[in-house]
Amino acid sequence: MTSKTIRLATAARHRHELTRSKAVRALRELNSAGTPVNFEVVARTAQVSRSWLYTQPDLRHEIERLREASQRSPGPSIPAAQRTSDASLLNRLHAATDSNRQLTEENNRLRRQLAHALSDQRADPNHSNRQKKPTTVTFR
């Protein structure tokens, strides 16, 4: 290789790395701001061509992932780092279901205890059917 060829290859590699860093920075900024992400917006923000973005598999995948995530959520877009994952939602659903089951069991247990207490109270021969005089409390 000639020195001219080496310089051209080095310049091309440097230009490619600079372009990639601009695209990555644009993706991060758009996502952090909660801006809906698509190829047009990333290309405009990074000042690169859309066709170049399509040729970069990792950038293309990330743009498609963020675009899909922003289309799924109604209302204003939320940055990816703050979005709830499907696994997190599933965990919250399981926790809520467990809590609901425990509360239902406790409610049933308390109803049984109340039924037994009322049954015992009715069966007690010393228990009178007349109401007790309410206690008065004086506040000073």
Is the predicted pLDDT of residue 7 greater than 60, yes or no?
Answer: yes
Cα angle, residue 31 at apex, residues 43 and 16 outer, rounded to 5°:
40
What average pLDDT does the segment 21-49 reach? 92
* Alpha-carbon torsion angle 57, 61, 64, 66, nearest 10: -140
Q: Are residues 38 and 102 in the same domain?
A: no
Q: Are residues 108 and 50 in the same domain?
A: no
Q: What is the pLDDT of residues 87-135, one digit of tens each?
A: 888 888 999 999 999 999 999 999 999 999 999 888 887 766 555 566 6
Q: Cα–chain-centroid distance for residue 117?
A: 46
What average pLDDT does the segment 23-33 reach? 91
Q: Taking all residues of the chain, what is their mean pLDDT, rounded to a whole number? A: 85
Q: What is the pLDDT of residues 50-89, one digit of tens each?
A: 999 999 999 999 999 988 887 766 555 566 666 677 888 8
* pLDDT for the residue 1: 75
Is the predicted pLDDT of residue 48 greater than 90, yes or no?
Answer: yes
* pLDDT for the residue 54: 94
Cβ contact 53:63 at 8 Å: yes
Q: Are residues 64 and 90 in the same domain?
A: no
* pLDDT for the residue 103: 94
Q: Are residues 90 and 32 in the same domain?
A: no
Cβ contact 25:46 at 8 Å: yes
Q: Are residues 89 and 64 in the same domain?
A: no
* pLDDT for the residue 85: 78
Q: What is the DSSP string of 10-63?
A: HHHHHHHHHHHHHHHHHHHHHHHHTPPP-HHHHHHHHT--HHHHHT-HHHHHHH
* pLDDT for the residue 128: 61
Q: How far apart are CA 36 and CA 45, in angstroms?
A: 12
Residue 79 phi/psi, 5-degree rounding, is -55, 145
Please give the tally of structural domains in the chain.
2
**For residue 56, is it within any domain?**
yes
Exposure string for 56-67, b = 16+ CB within 10 A, e = fewer: beebeebbeebb
* pLDDT for the residue 14: 93
